[in-house]
Structure 1
């Protein structure tokens, strides 16, 4: 018996079945079988042309979705089922991920829920709203009555796996062509559910104009769907309350956004009103504000009032938008006038404007350059661009300007030097005698710049023409290694000069002393003799927000009391009542998400655990162990795009599951000979120019005008001495 039966079902709609089966053929499937229920001759011909182990169940063109799913289940031998519509897709590695997760689940769990992305006829990799819900649910099994919020997940059969025996026991209840109803019903019938907060499905939304027009009866069927579901949940207060809220939101959304003839709209509103009154929980309270007004009008059945309310809202929004536009135009004109007046003034040869991470504060390569500038060229005055909310966090005495202010535009117009690790606004003019220094803020594993054009998930909202205009303003581009130099030339093609001098922010990894390491660990509260692991994952473009990928409490338990986890994420998870509370109190988990500079965290850590973050390239300078936790490598590589295969060229041990990660540390593999050999090769390649004097080389070259040949030469990797490790510092 296989762990998982992937049941692909449906016609070869717009040819998408071919793409789906090609993706399955491209990678070996672990303990899983593929059953293609091919509806129609075209689907059958496509399915029969694929891997010989694929089971093909041909069905007539007229077969509906429910019958196709049933035919697939009849042939399934797996313990679990995953229904995949022939028009949809499976991200790379999804089948392996789901198969491994269900293998760990007991028979008391009936449904495994996971995240998905969406694709349309014009883009792909659209984030779902489900990531946060799944993250809050965690990995523990739960009864639906204790986790009713899971009913808010997108109702797809594709974003869940179902225990085969459970499906067969309730097959009559699930046999319907209304897929959202079937998806909700699986939860309402399940004894226990589990979650996997990773993307394992791609829903393809076909262009509406390519589909049959929605009929009036199909509109009314939406109300009937919720009537049936709420009837199932009528004796379950928690589930009923969530479903009621989902129903009202959905009905109001369809009414407001879908273009229906007036006759159909009136009848849809009438039926929706009756359902809203009939199923309203006794203790239900309407939300405040406009949403509460909408719901009140729906419950009254006040169709005419609701349409008038909509019209008034549209008028009010239009008026507000027009006012904002007028104010914005006036403000823009004033700023442009001030800026262009300032541009007529001479360039100040002793003025330098610095910015880092979209005006966050004094940080990264610009900060290291500014510090060295104060030492080697104190006559040059630095001014930092910092957002108002971050200004109180600046070091005492830092001269700064707030974006958009009069002085902000004045210093941008008159400064000789403009230094940034991202980019200055499009409106900034490149004066002929000004110098723009682009420092960047990492070594690229993921695709950057123009290379993102082929990866719409990563490129959402990017204006590539504007990007090219900004690139053309660069005079210098700082690089840490020849790989980075080549990738910048490809991703950011322009006439700038590449400064192959190393990243200034990494100088500290060669200049810090044992006393510095001690002091940082004391500030962080790391007890002497404990092993500190820095866990620093990166952002996923295909997720709606950052979601935890590790059960930190379970990991800390496996690693023991002598290990401290320094956790640096987009935000720390787990409230005051979570299982992490006690671990925080004992200092075994320390939230360092807001701690700056990150280089100090690296100096304090005995080892780094990361996934695809560029911190691995910087940390490698310390010649300390690095462990890669790559639970979704295939999905990340496909959706974000990468420049090399990290799995083949990792800086140390690689874990694909949490159990593997824990084992790497409990067995000592994290610092064995194999890990050291991989790290040495990685350092040679990616720490090529980082030797502790990068900032000096940049300052001498850019600000003091020294020739390349006069700069301090780069010390070979094998001749460098990194800062002492915590263990060495106590020896």
Structure 2
């Protein structure tokens, strides 16, 4: 019996089935079977091209989704069933991820709720709004959840493809879930019927909603069915206060949205409003309180059945928004004109050769390569004054005495216009003019494994929101581009094609990995609360473009338990999630897991750690300078590679052992595999390739070349790797 049956079902009207089957065939998993309930001759022929790897259930044209699901499930032999619409998709490696997760679930779990990505005709791989919801539920641990205690899970998108169901559970309820029921009903009813619900807050399904204009017109009865569906779900939730309240709220919200956003003939709109009004009154939970403000008023009018009043309220709101929008636009335009006037006036004066503007990570503060360059500038060229561009919210965290300006202010505009040197590890705004007597220094903030710049074009999830023409205009302002290795130099040339000069001098932020002393390392570990003699493992995963929020891909409590009292986990989330609630809150006080996400600088964390565990983060390239063990946890490599794009196969050329599952990682860290001869050999090859220019003097070379105008030949040479001595390990420092 396979662990998982992927049941492909439903009609394929837009020819997505071929791509789905090709993707499944390209990434087979030994514990997964694929059953295709093929609707029509064309779908049958497409599926049969993949036999015997695929089990084909031929069905006549016109078979609907519910009937095809039932036929596919009847043929499936797996312990768990994953229903995938023929028009949807699966991210690469998703069946393997799901099968491994379900294999670890206890028998009480009936449904595994997945995160997903959305793809439309415009773009693909968009994070779903379910990400934060599943992340919050995931903080309760990996034990299956009782829906009555986690009723907000009902708010997850009603897609059956995001519910992997235990086969025995499905067969027990198949008649109820398929007879005359649509997919949104089955998706929510499955959660209500389940004894326990488990969550996998990582995308393992791709929803491809069709363009509405490609669908047949919606009939009046289909509009009314929305109300009927919710009434049936509320019947199912009767006697369960928390799920009932959530479903009631969803019903009122969805009915109002459908009424407002859907073009219905007037008689249909009136009848829909009437039915929704009756349901809102009849199903209203005891003690229900309407939300305050306009939303509460909308719900009140619905309960009254006040169709005419509601339409008048809509019209008044539309007019009010138009007036407010006009006022806001005029205010913004006036403020922008004033700032532009000050900026343009400052541009007419000669650039100040004693002024350098620094910024890092979209104005987050003093950090990364710009910080290391600014520090060295103070030593070698103290007559040049550094001014940092920092967001108002981050200004309070600046080192004492840091001269800074806040974006959008008059002084910021004047400083940007007057400075001779502009240093950033991302890009300055489009509005910054490249004046002839100014020097723009692009430092970057990592060695690229993932595709960057123009190389993101074929990857819509990564390219979402990017204006590539504007990007190239910003790149054209660069005079210099800092590189840590020849791999980076080649990739920057490819991703950011322009006339800039490459500074193959190493990353200034990595200098500390060669200059730190034993006392520095002892002091950092003391600040972090790491007791002498304990092994510190830094876990630093990266951002995923296809996820809406960050949830640890590891059960950190379980991992810490396996590693024992002598090991402490330092867990650092990607800076993109700095404002999100931490999923580590419950583990902070154990002393075995320390959330170091807000800690700066990250270089301190690397110096404090005996080993690094990461996935695809560029921190691995920096940490390799320390010549300490690195372990790669790559549970979703195929998904990451296909959605973000990569420059090389990390699994073929890793800096150390590779774990595909938590069990793999636990075994590596609880044996000598994390630092044995094989790991050392892999790390040595990785260091030769990616630690090419880092030697502790990168900042000096950059300052001498850019700010002091010295020739390349006059700069300190980079010694061979074998002649460089990294900072001592924590064990040596102790």
1:53 Cα shift? 2.4
For the residue of structure 2 that corresponds to 1:674, the secondary structure is helix
Deviates more, 1:135-144 or 1:270-279: 135-144
TM-score (ref. length: structure 2): 0.97
Per-residue CA distance 1:453-511 (angstroms, 9 max, x = gap): 11110111111110000000000000000110011001100000000000000000000
Give distance in 2, aligned partners of 1:406 and 1:488: 34
Asked if the contact 2:11/2:64 (under 8 Å) is kept, the reply is no
1:574 Cα shift? 12
Match runs of 1:43-192 below 5 Å: 43-138=43-138, 139-175=142-178, 176-192=180-196
Match runs of 1:644-723 below 5 Å: 644-723=648-727
Asked if the contact 2:578/2:598 (under 8 Å) is kept, the reply is no
1:575 Cα shift? 8.9
Correspondence 1:236 to 2:244 = no
For the residue of structure 1 that corresponds to 2:461, the secondary structure is coil
Deviates more, 1:685-694 or 1:27-36: 27-36
Per the alignment, residue 454 of structure 2 pairs with 450
Correspondence 1:374 to 2:364 = no
For the residue of structure 2 that corresponds to 1:254, the secondary structure is helix
Correspondence 1:612 to 2:616 = yes
Per-residue CA distance 1:99-154 (angstroms, 9 max, x = gap): 11111223322111111111111210111111122122222112222222211111
Give distance in 1, aligned partners of 2:665 and 2:580: 21
1:526 Cα shift? 0.7
Per the alignment, residue 428 of structure 2 pairs with 424
Give distance in 1, aligned partners of 2:45 and 2:124: 27
Per-residue CA distance 1:167-212 (angstroms, 9 max, x = gap): 1111111114510001111111111111111111001111111111
Say which of 634, 638, 643 aligns to 2:642.
638
1:85 Cα shift? 0.6
Asked if the contact 1:25/1:51 (under 8 Å) is kept, the reply is no
Per the alignment, residue 544 of structure 2 pairs with 540
Asked if the contact 1:520/1:600 (under 8 Å) is kept, the reply is yes
Give distance in 2, aligned partners of 1:53 and 1:528: 55
Deviates more, 1:170-179 or 1:696-705: 170-179
Per the alignment, residue 729 of structure 1 pairs with 733
Per the alignment, residue 595 of structure 2 pairs with 591
Per the alignment, residue 522 of structure 2 pairs with 518
Correspondence 1:508 to 2:477 = no
Match runs of 1:317-356 below 5 Å: 317-356=321-360
For the residue of structure 2 that corresponds to 1:196, the secondary structure is strand
1:30 Cα shift? 2.7
Say which of 229, 232, 251 aligns to 1:225.
229
Give distance in 1, aligned partners of 2:455 and 2:132: 29
Alpha-carbon spacing, 1:580–1:355, altered in 2? closer, same or farther (3 Å): closer
Per the alignment, residue 533 of structure 2 pairs with 529
Per the alignment, residue 413 of structure 2 pairs with 409
Give distance in 1, aligned partners of 2:465 and 2:361: 18
Give distance in 1, aligned partners of 2:372 and 2:584: 39
Per the alignment, residue 27 of structure 1 pairs with 27
Give distance in 2, aligned partners of 1:338 and 1:49: 68
Per-residue CA distance 1:42-68 (angstroms, 9 max, x = gap): 111111112422111111102111111
Asked if the contact 1:109/1:193 (under 8 Å) is kept, the reply is yes
Give distance in 1, aligned partners of 2:688 and 2:212: 53
Give distance in 1, aligned partners of 2:410 and 2:148: 57
Per the alignment, residue 561 of structure 1 pairs with 565
Per the alignment, residue 437 of structure 2 pairs with 433
Per the alignment, residue 293 of structure 2 pairs with 289
Match runs of 1:255-274 below 5 Å: 255-274=259-278
Match runs of 1:441-480 below 5 Å: 441-480=445-484
Alpha-carbon spacing, 1:579–1:525, altered in 2? closer, same or farther (3 Å): closer
Asked if the contact 1:12/1:18 (under 8 Å) is kept, the reply is no
Give distance in 1, aligned partners of 2:97 and 2:459: 22
Match runs of 1:483-502 below 5 Å: 483-502=487-506
Per-residue CA distance 1:634-673 (angstroms, 9 max, x = gap): 1111111111111111111111211221111111211111
Give distance in 2, aligned partners of 1:715 and 1:295: 72
1:361 Cα shift? 1.1
Give distance in 1, aligned partners of 2:302 and 2:580: 38
Give distance in 2, aligned partners of 1:115 and 1:584: 26
Alpha-carbon spacing, 1:95–1:586, altered in 2? closer, same or farther (3 Å): closer
For the residue of structure 2 that corresponds to 1:145, the secondary structure is helix
Give distance in 2, aligned partners of 1:365 and 1:43: 55
Give distance in 2, aligned partners of 1:573 and 1:432: 38
Asked if the contact 1:11/1:42 (under 8 Å) is kept, the reply is no
1:292 Cα shift? 1.2
Asked if the contact 1:351/1:380 (under 8 Å) is kept, the reply is yes
Asked if the contact 2:25/2:53 (under 8 Å) is kept, the reply is no
Asked if the contact 1:501/1:697 (under 8 Å) is kept, the reply is yes
For the residue of structure 2 that corresponds to 1:437, the secondary structure is strand
1:580 Cα shift? 6.2
Unmatched 5+ stretches in structure 1: none
Give distance in 1, aligned partners of 2:664 and 2:133: 26
Give distance in 1, aligned partners of 2:584 and 2:716: 52
Asked if the contact 2:584/2:595 (under 8 Å) is kept, the reply is no
TM-score (ref. length: structure 1): 0.98
For the residue of structure 2 that corresponds to 1:212, the secondary structure is coil
| Superposition CA RMSD, Å | 1.5
1:332 Cα shift? 1.2
